[in-house]
Structure 1
Amino acid sequence: TAAPDGSSEWITSQEARSDVHALRARCDSVMVGAGTVRSDDPSLTTRFVSGSDPQRIVLGKAPAGARAHPCWEVEGDLVDVLLELGGRGVVDLLVEGGATVAAAFHEQGLVNEYVFYLAPALMGGEDGHPVFVGPGSATMADLWRGGLRDVRKIGSDLRVEFRPLEGD
């Protein structure tokens, strides 16, 4: 998430950010959308912990000079993209977003584990940037529910892990 002006540094604690980097270090690759590269210019490297950097993947075209370079740029249907990445040897893909990419993977049922970090901070307002964009659930009966896997305190924050329920 982010404030209406796009700023998001730093919502979570240093300990939570270090945990994210440890997660990156355990994955083959990390993916963001081209919009995230344009707005945030993330380096997508492993910092704060020892470990190797994941292969950086941008869904779409990364602007020249972006910190995500060198990266693989992929486009098209997400299932085809995943097949292409599998052909390149990718086994563990960490999709960091942004909201459009995260929503696309979620809506197509292509996520096998969700990891969220919750800070004891409230932003409010109607103009902020959500975790997912798109239509969402129209009714409570349509609400997507996952199975809670783990909750732990990291610094002043919570790390929450859940998975899709069987049949989703």
Structure 2
Amino acid sequence: MATTLEAAAMRRAVTLAAQGLGHTSPNPVVGCVVLDAAGHIAGEGYHQRAGGPHAEVHALAAAGERARGGTAVVTLEPCNHTGRTGPCARALIDAGIARVVYAVADPVPGHTGGARTLAAAGVDVEGGLLAAEAAAGNEAWLTAVPRRRPFVLWKYAATLDGRSAAADGTSRWITSPEARADVHRLRAEADAVVVGAGTARTDDPQLAARGLAGEVTQPLRVVVDTNGTAVGPGARILDDVAPTLLAVAHDADTALPADVLRLPRAASGRGLDLPALLTALYERGVRSVLLEGGPTLAGAFLAAGAVDKVVGYVAPVLLGAGPHALADAGITTIGDALRLRVTDVARLGPDLRITAVPATIPAPEEN
């Protein structure tokens, strides 16, 4: 049975893990706290970047000899395989750790068994401590790995009457500086930011994460441009701030200086095959996608059942006319409406940020 000190250490480990968001893909974010034999914090660490030392290695290095006979508290089951780094289960054993408490079991086929290896070496092992809290911080990776496609967060900004722009097409700025700053945080935490041809053509967005403190790993910028006509020479998205990928139909004629991904057209004849797009992104190491627009592409993702989370920034503004935040999503009757479960509501300046997930996703259970 986990102790109060171990529970506090796990909460600290969850906080540490969050510092790796946006930097670790295709790996998960992981935090670790090492307690000495007396239950005091001896070392802590988190997985900082793919290919670098894992959280346990950082924490053990910080703890030194104080780790011997102590407890390692980890947000994810210690790995038991050798990749670009060695197995963390072996590192814990070699450091003389007497007990390991982890939150979430490793779901990757071939990576499991860390807990078994530890137990076979005489280490006391307990899993499931604060599993819901740890899983929430690692939701993108834990969703992407079993499905073999990236976790998709659809973000939109709208007026109180659901408009994304005025009747003349102007949309800067519907939301406040506080809300826009929060969007840059979402970009920095995502592996890829995806927009459609309409957004690329109308807004000429840069899609980089800006105005954030500390080191920022820029997301891959993806334009879903079926016919290859929306992005022209000199477009901001073609600058050297971040990598760019143009997703076009296999028969599109384009010769832009950017990485081009050719995909089949959707079976409906409109747009690209979105499952094929997501599969291709996953194979490139993308585990989380921030879907920024516009309404047509958002509708297509929803119709394909490819939205895992929704973040809506709602401004206390009324327009009465203009495009809606969401276009056709293949829903024709109220019985087919996609019901959402609100998980958070926050005030950002004058605006509201509403976070929700499809109601078919069960609410997490806390241990």
2:211 alignment counterpart: 48
2:360 alignment counterpart: 166
* Structure 2 Cα separation of the partners of residues 81 and 136 of structure 1: 19
Aligned amino acid, residue 207 of structure 2: L
**Corresponding residue SS for 2:312:** strand
The Cα RMSD (Å) is 1.5
Q: Do residues 148 (structure 1) and 320 (structure 2) align?
A: no
Q: Do residues 106 (structure 1) and 302 (structure 2) align?
A: yes
* Structure 2 Cα separation of the partners of residues 14 and 133 of structure 1: 26
1:57 alignment counterpart: 222
1:87 alignment counterpart: 283
Aligned amino acid, residue 297 of structure 2: V
2:77 alignment counterpart: none
Structure 1, unaligned runs of 5 or more: none
Deviation string 1:13-36 (CA, Å, 9 cap, x unpaired) is 100000000110100110001111
2:178 alignment counterpart: 15
Aligned amino acid, residue 334 of structure 2: M
Greater shift after overlay, 136-145 or 93-102? 136-145
Greater shift after overlay, 52-61 or 33-42? 52-61
Deviation string 1:9-60 (CA, Å, 9 cap, x unpaired) is 1111100000000110100110001111111100101112232321100001
1:31 alignment counterpart: 194
Q: Which of 1 and 2 has higher RCO (CA within 8 Å, sep 6+)?
A: 1
Aligned amino acid, residue 325 of structure 2: V
Asked if 2 retains the 8 angstrom alpha-carbon contact of 1:37 and 1:63, the reply is no
Aligned amino acid, residue 44 of structure 1: L
* Structure 2 Cα separation of the partners of residues 155 and 37 of structure 1: 28
Asked if 1 retains the 8 angstrom alpha-carbon contact of 2:166 and 2:319, the reply is yes
Asked if 1 retains the 8 angstrom alpha-carbon contact of 2:302 and 2:329, the reply is no
* Structure 1 Cα separation of the partners of residues 219 and 358 of structure 2: 25
Cα distance, 1:135 vs structure 2: 6.3
Aligned positions, number: 165
Q: Do residues 117 (structure 1) and 336 (structure 2) align?
A: no
The structure 2 residue matched to 1:74, chosen from 247, 258, 272, is: 247
The TM-score normalised by the length of structure 1 is 0.92
Structure 2, unaligned runs of 5 or more: 1-163, 249-271, 362-367
Asked if 2 retains the 8 angstrom alpha-carbon contact of 1:46 and 1:53, the reply is yes
Aligned amino acid, residue 146 of structure 1: L
